[in-house]
Structure 1
Amino acid sequence: MTNYTKPQYLMSKDIPVVKITGFFVEVLRPDLLPLAIRNPEVDFDSIYHGWIGTRVMSMGRSNAEKIMDGLRLPRSNTYAAAASMHFASLSDCYWIRQEAEDISWAEVSLYRADISEDVAETSLFGKKQMFHGHIHTPEPSTAGLSAKAWYRDANQKLWLYKIGKKEVAASKILDAIGADHVPYLDASNELHQRTEEEQIRKIDERNEELVKCPIITSEQRSMVTWYDYEEHCNDENINPYTRIKQNPKYHEMQVCDYLLSNSDRHGENWGFFIDADTGKLGDLHPLFDHDHAFSEDTKIIAQTTEHDMSLKQAALQSLPCAKRLNLNTIRTMQRPEELTEEQWMGVQQRAKVLMRERVKQCEEKR
């Protein structure tokens, strides 16, 4: 557990960024502060009641209670689970070190850690079990509410596994139109390798599948959410949309979310890459997380625009800046087998709306 009475450090790999003594904060490397708290007035509350809160598993997440039970921790203390991993994450290279600890980034990094397959099985499939020995694994710090877990393949590459099948269909559609996105693959052939018959039967009963996608961060390239970027811009008194509106990928996201009828593009589901060594902000990362796609709601409100508007309005407004997307392919593409006929008809209908608008905008320019 964290001891507030003794000095501790917010670290970026092996570089001390902030020294915390009691409730006093001394910034050592302002250029490497996490973006959400990168301001001259960063204080104890900003770090421990703000930033660290984003690195703690929500008890609203599927199977969170079973993870806490398996770790032998009170269900009310997800903070303790994250603290036992030094608040490390697979989103970036930050962690918390007690001054008295003789420990390095190499020992803390989740990018290098052995994955606990027992924890992963509980996190992903809900298996009730106790975890024995030293546990150092990403699950207690992985964001989101759906069931998910990390595994390594034969080449030691990290993959995020989830239960569902909409993301595979979304991935096929985004592939077809040329959108920048994280590919999701059907991993159902790995079910018997990952869990037992009881869990497999429950997945079959829910008509779901096992899917996976590759990790997009590394020890060189971190990820920062839109929420964090927005917080940073607010501290700097900058309109966060000023920069983003110049980026074609931002406009492509609006079009893609309308095409997929994605109702869950909140501020933790999109954002930027950031250089883990310099702290410099990079480009928007690829689109991911489409397990709330293909909604039947025709009046979804856009969550990614400066002003209130629907997904459809946002897409039509962004269409002139999303020229790289080849929407024509939807007309000739076969229905993804993961979608019902009704869901696929919805995609085709939205594609027609976008194509008609594109033709109209081209004619108006003549």
Structure 2
Amino acid sequence: MKIVYEIMHGDRKVARIDTQGHCKIYYKTFMPFDLHLEETENDIDMLVNNITNFQHWCARRILPLNRQYIKAVLNSLGVSQAFTDKDRAEIALKFRCLSLIDIYWVRKHKEKIAFSEVNLYENYLDNALAEVSLKGKYLAIYNEDMKNGFAKDISTNGCFPKAWISKNNHFQLYKGGKREVVENEVLASKVCQCFDCQQVTYILEEYGGELVSVSDIMTTKERSIVSREAFEIYAMNEEIDAMKFILKIDAYSFYMMNILDYLIGNVDRHCGNWGFFVDNNKNKICSLHPLMDFNQSFQAYDNIEGTRCQTVKPLDMTQKEAALDAVKKIGLNQIKEIDSAWFVGKKKEYDMFLTRLHILKHYI
């Protein structure tokens, strides 16, 4: 039987699409950046593309297949292991494709429900669900309200165990993993705070007897984020030069990202963990969002070049080359001295950091 879905942006109905691929776009400027649909009645190829694109968009709104403890998460929810976009889209649709990244969601046509009744900023439940996402504990979750509350965790990208914890009506992201990974993220955060750059701050805490890094949520009902990866889809469809666009709106943050990633040896700056702030009132990109995700820092630290820089295209620059290029354009912008005490037990890392810092200072 044909099902019609409505793609929502807050309480604004942006578009509708049915399971045969027919769609109607009401507000093109409020469409998700990474969802491209074409209105057509009889073009089979377009209809198939619409279905494929919608399923892919839905599928991207739940945790990735390589997330640690994914099996425990899905089993606790009573859903099957999802290996295709179609499978993952079905799971996402059970949770209305809700996320703490933005204010998009999906409801069935003529369903009488408002954003205020379902959004994750106001409708969250107890933090016991974090036991599954962070530690892999199996829970039998039968209550529908609990399942709805789980959406905040399954919509968070990344392969490391993580969960949103609510404290005094405010969300914080708890990230686990091996002790060294967690400690490296917090150390890298301390180092980055010695430079003038918008960034997420990570602190060290304990959860269930294990170390975790903790950071505050940076989105609200008024401000979303969209990844560089998602923006690429929009840029291709709108024939926009993505790099020119980035440098026009926030060249400083882009260059500082390349400088800091080289200094701290962050090898995981893929297109999914950097991107833009979006003003939800207009669905317009404002700037790059604060630098985040440092738990793969102090890698490729056995050589002075670092690894390939993932933020530039084509991928023909090393991290060192990208950082030198950035320093020549905006300077180093160090605002505080690095405390050597932060690197206790990490002499090798401290020496390499100082070497890289000296190289960049030479080019100021």
TM-score, normalization by structure 1: 0.86
Which residue in 1 is equivalent to 2:280? 276
Q: What residue ranges of structure 2 are gaps of 5+ in the alignment?
A: 40-45, 177-181
Corresponding residue for residue 51 of structure 1: 57
Alignment RMSD = 2.0
Alpha-carbon distance in structure 1 between the residues aligned to 2:54 and 2:308: 33
Secondary structure of the residue aligned to 1:97 is: strand
1:146 paired residue number: 160
Seen in structure 2, the aligned counterparts of structure 1 residues 101 and 339 have a Cα distance that, compared at 3 Å, is: farther
Q: 2:171 aligns with which of 142, 149, 158?
A: 158
Deviation at 1:92, TM superposition (A): 0.4
**Is contact 1:37-1:46 (8 Å) kept?**
no
Structure 1 residues 338, 115: CA separation in 2 closer, same or farther (over 3 Å shift)?
Answer: farther
User: Is 1:12–1:93's contact at 8 Å kept on the other side of the alignment?
Assistant: yes
Listed one character per residue, the Cα deviations across residues 216-268 of structure 1 (whole Å, up to 9, x for unaligned) are 01110010110122221111222111122341111111101100111000001
Match 1:312 to one of 305, 309, 320: 320
Residues 161, 213 of structure 1: 8 Å contact kept: yes
Query: For residue 29 of structure 2, what is the aligned residue in structure 1?
Result: 31
In the TM superposition, 1:225-264 aligns within 5 A as 225-246=227-248, 247-264=251-268
Distance in 1 between the 2:277 and 2:343 partners? 33
Aligned residue number for residue 362 of structure 1? none
Percent of counterpart pairs with the same letter?
Answer: 26
Structure 2 vs 1, CA of residues 84 and 318 (structure 1 numbering), >3 Å: closer, same or farther?
same
Partner Cα separation in structure 1 for residue 271 and residue 197 of structure 2: 19
User: Mean Cα displacement is larger for which, 284-293 or 297-306?
Assistant: 297-306
Please state if 1:171 is matched with 2:179.
no
Determine if the alignment matches structure 1 residue 114 to structure 2 residue 124. yes
The 8 Å contact of residues 225 and 268 in structure 1, kept in 2 or not, is answered as yes
AA matched with 1:218: T
| Aligned partners of 1:168 and 1:338 also within 8 Å | no
CA distance in 1, matches of 2:341, 2:37: 49
Matched, 1:18 2:15: yes
Whether 1:348 and 2:354 are equivalent positions in the alignment is: yes
**In structure 1, distance between residues paired with 2:73 and 2:285:** 34
2:199 corresponds, among 157, 163, 181, to 181
Q: 1:23 to 1:79 in 2, by over 3 A?
A: closer
**1 CA distance for matches of 2:131 and 2:346?**
29
Q: Match of 1:300?
A: 307
Alpha-carbon contact 2:14-2:31 (below 8 Å) kept:
yes
Distance 1:297 1:243 in 2: 34
Contact (CA 8 Å) 1:30, 1:38: kept in 2 or not? no
**Is this contact kept in 2: 1:67–1:119, CA < 8 A?**
no
Equivalent pair of 1:152/1:158 in contact (CA under 8 Å): yes
Deviation at 1:16, TM superposition (A): 0.7
* Equivalent-residue separation in structure 2 for 1:57 and 1:256 (angstroms): 27
Question: How far has the Cα of 1:116 moved from its partner?
Answer: 4.0
Aligned length: 336
SS in 1 for 2:341: coil
CA distance in 1, matches of 2:219, 2:359: 35
Q: 1:251 to 1:82 in 2, by over 3 A?
A: same
How many Å apart are 1:6 and its aligned residue?
2.5
Structure 1 unaligned regions, length at least 5: 204-208, 359-366
Equivalent-residue separation in structure 2 for 1:67 and 1:340 (angstroms): 35
